[in-house]
Amino acid sequence: MKKFLLGTNWKMNKTLAQGLAYSEALMAIIGKYAQFEFFIIPPYTHLWKMKEALAAQKSPLKLGAQNMHEQDFGQFTGEISPLMLAEIGVDIIELGHSERRQYFNETDEAVNKKALAALKHGFTPLICIGEQQADKDYGVSPEMLAKQLKIALTDVPATAIGQFWIAYEPVWAIGVGGTPAATPYVEEIHNFLRQVLIDRYGPSGQAVPLLFGGSVNINNASDYARLDNVDGLFIGRSAWEPDLFEAIMAAVGAVVK
Candidate segments 116-124, 171-179, 188-196, 225-233, binder of ligand PGA by CB under 6 A: 171-179
Residue 169 bears catalytic tag: yes
- Of 5, 9, 46, 231, the residue at the interface with ligand PGA (CB under 6 A) is 9
Q: Between 10 and 33, whose beta carbon lies closer to ligand PGA?
A: 10
* Contact flag: residue 96 with ligand PGA (CB under 6 A): no
Shortest distance, position 78 Cβ to ligand PGA, whole Å: 22
Q: Give 122's contacts (C-beta < 8 A, 6+ positions apart).
A: 86
> How many Å apart are CA 78 and CA 66, to the nearest integer?
14
The interface mask with ligand PGA, positions 176-215, x = CB under 6 A, is --x----------------------------------xxx
Closest CA to 194 of 153, 155, 230: 230
> How many Å apart are CA 220 and CA 251, to the nearest integer?
9
Length reported for the chain: 257
* Contact flag: residue 169 with ligand PGA (CB under 6 A): yes
* Contact flag: residue 236 with ligand PGA (CB under 6 A): yes
Q: Between 118 and 201, whose beta carbon lies closer to ligand PGA?
A: 118
| 8 A C-beta contact, residue 220 and residue 214 | no
3-state SS of 137-186 is HCCCHHHHHHHHHHHHCCCCCHHHECCEEEEECCHHHCCCCCCCCCHHHH
Shortest distance, position 64 Cβ to ligand PGA, whole Å: 12
Q: Between 168 and 201, whose beta carbon lies closer to ligand PGA?
A: 168
Candidate segments 52-60, 115-123, 140-148, 169-177, binder of ligand PGA by CB under 6 A: 169-177
- Of 38, 212, 234, 245, the residue at the interface with ligand PGA (CB under 6 A) is 234
Compute how many other C-beta atoms are within 10 angstroms of the C-beta atom of residue 97.
28
Q: How many residues in the shown chain lie near ligand PGA by CB under 6 A?
A: 14
Q: Give the 3-state secondary structure of residue 255.
A: coil
Residue 97 bears catalytic tag: yes
What's the CA dihedral at 178, 179, 180, 181 to 10 degrees? -120
> How many Å apart are CA 39 and CA 60, to the nearest integer?
9
Which of 46, 69, 97, 190 is labelled catalytic? Answer: 97
Residues contributing to the site for ligand PGA (CB under 6 A): 9, 169, 174-175, 178, 213-216, 234-238
Q: Which residues are catalytic?
A: 97, 169
